Amino acid sequence: MTDTLFAGLTPAPADPILGVSEKFRADPRPQKVNLGVGAYLTEEGKTPLMEVVREAEEALAQSGQAHTYIPISGLPAYTAAVQKMVFGADSEIVLSGRAATVQTLGGTGALKVGMDFLHHVCGETRGVSSKPTWGNHFALLEQAGYEVGSYRYYDAANNDVDFNGMIEDLNALPAKTLVILHSCCHNPTGYDLTSEQWDEVIAVCQKRGLTPFLDMAYQGFRDGLAADAAAIHQFAKSGMNFLLATSFSKSFNLYGERIGALHVVTQSAQEAAVVLTQLKSCIRCNYSNPPAHGARIVERVLNDPAKFAQWEEELAVMRNRIRTMRHALADEMARIGAKRDFSFITRQNGMFSFTGLSPEQIDRLAADYGIYAVRNGRICICGLNTGNVEYVAKAIAEVL
């Protein structure tokens, strides 16, 4: 008898971002360039092993620690340190204990646990993110059972944020809508809100009874760790409930360790304690408890002021290289007389530039030049280096 359970299945489409890496890997051309996934690469095109990580791993290897289960909510030394780093050790949120923090499988894991909690435990049914956004936001919301929508964010004509459109759309949302917001280094546009604009967003969220869920995957890639958390401090000061997903994949180059955190900011320590029990039950029935290695590395750095300073320095090197490459690409586009002005690239933040290239132009870059990017026109600046920036600029100019 034929079992028909899987017989009628059609293949799922390749992931719009990680699928780009697969195509890049399969391309035999030596001059190929990967501007797809948001992952830092050195001038030599390699994922770095940070010195501060190497030292922590050496110390861990020496310690001969056994591989026990860690708590469902994560390593306590890690969650406490991350909470202090994100909100500030002397902040009202940390001192009052009104945030519940759990270790998660990267930023994506934090988003998923937070969405499950808001949907299954708090009864939220609608979720929105910016248009455009990181594609996985919509997919995650859908998988978690939400009715999915978007709010305007990008002003293509002026290469800026469509702030009026954003506020208008947020103002039209029903109460208890989960609103995903990129707290810095907006993915994919690279355009962030000013602090005055954040104040307005906070006021709308409060007035409409919306539930902000901030996503901070790129802390440290705009102006530095503390400065990049500015929007978080504004939300903290407002006194409202909000959720925050943070990740160390990028800032520690710990992509494969899946190390992130979910913070749920409530009204009191009592509320936070109850929320923590609910988060633990969401985690337990997903993956039981998180892995230990990434948390042990990060915890060692965050809890040691000298190592923390060393990490910040290494992060600054990465941030500065990206900025240099932004300028190099924009300058080269101008030098060769590209049909369009690309100076906006230098005004964008973080790893990405939203180029305005069409899907067909992105396809031509891949087919004719072996240059891979996301079809929505996002390029990851980290894939550029002094050896390939002229080649990339010329290719972009030719597909315009």
Catalytic positions are 134, 215, 250
CB of 1 to ligand LMR, least distance (A): 41
**Which residues on neighbouring strands pair with residue 149, listed in sequence order?**
128
Q: Which is nearer to ligand LMR, 72 or 217 (CB)?
A: 217
CB of 5 to ligand LMR, least distance (A): 30
Radius of gyration of the chain, Cα coordinates, nearest whole angstrom: 21
CB of 107 to ligand LMR, least distance (A): 7
45 CB-near residues (< 8 Å, 6+ apart): 383, 385
- Among residues 102, 123, 98, 111, the alpha carbon closest in space to that of 277 is found at 102
Q: Which is nearer to ligand LMR, 98 or 378 (CB)?
A: 378
Residue 213 phi/psi, 5-degree rounding, is: -125, 100
CB of 245 to ligand LMR, least distance (A): 11
Q: Which is nearer to ligand LMR, 136 or 211 (CB)?
A: 136
DSSP 52-101: HHHHHHHHHHHHT-------TT--HHHHHHHHHHHH-TTSHHHHHT-EEE
284 CB-near residues (< 8 Å, 6+ apart): 72
CB of 38 to ligand LMR, least distance (A): 3
172: DSSP letter: T
Q: Which is nearer to ligand LMR, 218 or 311 (CB)?
A: 218
Query: Before 188, cis peptide (omega within 30)?
Result: yes
Crossing angle for the helix pair 230-238 and 76-87, nearest 10 degrees?
90
For residue 20, what are its two tokens?
Answer: 């780009």
Q: Which is nearer to ligand LMR, 20 or 205 (CB)?
A: 20
- Is-contact 114 262, C-beta < 8 A? yes
For residue 119, what are its two tokens?
Answer: 């949907």
Taking CA atoms, 59 is separated from 54, 67, 171, 302, 395, in Å, by 9, 15, 52, 15, 46
For residue 150, what are its two tokens?
Answer: 């978007």
Q: Which is nearer to ligand LMR, 345 or 380 (CB)?
A: 380
343: DSSP letter: G
Residue 94, H or E segment: helix 92-96
CB of 17 to ligand LMR, least distance (A): 4
CB of 44 to ligand LMR, least distance (A): 20
The span from the CA of 137 to the CA of 133, in Å, is: 7
Q: Which is nearer to ligand LMR, 16 or 165 (CB)?
A: 16
Residues that bind ligand LMR in the complex, under the rule CB under 6 A: 17, 37-38, 134, 136, 187, 217
Q: From start to end of 114-223, where are the E strands?
A: 126-131, 147-152, 154-155, 160-161, 177-182, 211-216
- Among residues 161, 133, 157, 128, the alpha carbon closest in space to that of 352 is found at 133
